[in-house]
Amino acid sequence: MMSNRMSNRTTARAGLTVADYVKGVTSGDRSVLARAITLVESTKPEHRTLAQSVLQELLPATGRAVRLGITGVPGVGKSTTIDQLGINLISAGKKVAVLAVDPTSKRTGGSILGDKTRMSRLAQSQDAFIRPSPTSGTLGGVARKTRETMAMVEAAGFDVIIVETVGVGQSETTVADMVDFFLVLLLAGGGDDLQGIKKGIIELADMIAINKADGDNVTRAQAAAAEYRLALSILTPQSAAWKPPVVTISGRTNVGLETLWEKIDEHRTTTSATGEFAERRRAQALSWMHDMLEDRLMEALRSNKRVAAALPGLEADVREGRLLPTLAVEQILELMGLAQS
């Protein structure tokens, strides 16, 4: 008995091969999928190399899912709405993955937000997969880890991938560039709705949903929807074939979510017919490459010993006004052997 337990422990600890990961992910093995995503999130070079090999093998199995980005300021009801929408989709026979873009603490490296505790019903479903997607405090972290995790869960057979952002930073733009449909959740509030984060975000929206349209708030939600329709009418739409609609919903009471999903489905049908959907997917792939290139170049810079030795002095000179920032950059590029001749 003791030898059997030891054997099982050894097997559990043993590293999986590329073929093991590919077979496990494509067969829907959740434990292997979780381990594959952990590879993606790892900063170890050997893990990154293995993750890229796995992703390359999984590439033919990706691209079939609906990629939906959802944003909104804290308190707008994102988690409640995603939980209910996910349950609705599962009831319709779909498998749903939720990736919560998590603004990882720059101080500790740990996740700030919870995940499964905020979507309790989805977390209990075998047809759902919820995972925080930590950013490591950088937009490059969003680009690499979230995109690669999306590919993993697509290959695992999930039909809908929901990428949730916290609604408090530039990650919204990054996420909008990696999804097929970007949904902005807003609250009714009066004439000053168009302020702060909302100004830039509504320009990214493929649809706006005024949430918490229930009880005494229905009239206010409808008035807010009218305001946003007016605001959108003076903006140039991103697509010639799609004018972003504004709907009212209640994630808490499951009101309007059927219409919301119909609009998402309609958007895919419409943009597929015009070729915009395929072009958006191609642009996503290129954006992924460019973001990854920037990410890797910054890593190369930080790991360069000559740069590491000179950087504190250069930063001090720039901070005290002794050196022009552009000249400091040129010196860093020279140290890396990248200066223009």
Instruction: Mark whether 156 and 263 lie in a shared domain.
Output: yes
| Burial zone of 117 (CB within 10 Å; 0-12 exposed, 13-18 middle, 19+ buried) | exposed
* Final residue belonging to a domain, choices 219, 249, 273: 273
Alpha-carbon torsion 320, 326, 329, 330, what sign?
Answer: negative
Helices 45-58 and 30-41, axial angle in degrees (round to 10): 130
Specify if 289 maps to a domain.
no
Instruction: Mark whether 67 and 52 lie in a shared domain.
Output: no
Write out the chain's pLDDT in tens, 341 residues. 434 443 333 333 358 999 999 999 999 999 999 999 999 888 888 998 999 999 999 999 999 999 999 988 888 899 999 999 999 999 999 999 999 875 544 444 444 444 455 788 999 999 999 988 655 544 444 656 889 999 999 999 999 999 998 765 566 788 888 899 999 999 886 444 444 446 677 888 999 999 999 999 999 999 999 988 988 888 778 888 999 999 999 999 999 999 999 999 999 999 999 999 999 999 988 988 888 888 788 888 888 999 999 999 999 999 999 999 999 999 999 998 887 65
Give the domain extent around 43.
Answer: 14-61
Instruction: Mark whether 111 and 144 lie in a shared domain.
Output: yes
The token duo for 164 is: 């949730």
The DSSP 8-state label assigned to residue 15 in this structure reads P
Domain harbouring 81, CATH code = 3.40.50.300
Helical (H) or strand (E) element with 133: strand 128-134
Domain harbouring 27, CATH code = 1.20.5.170
* Final residue belonging to a domain, choices 218, 253, 273: 273
Specify if 145 maps to a domain.
yes
Q: How many domains does the chain have?
A: 2
The token duo for 58 is: 């999984």
Alpha helix segments (H runs only) across 100-138: 120-123
Instruction: Mark whether 148 and 127 lie in a shared domain.
Output: yes
User: Is the pTM higher than 0.85?
Assistant: no
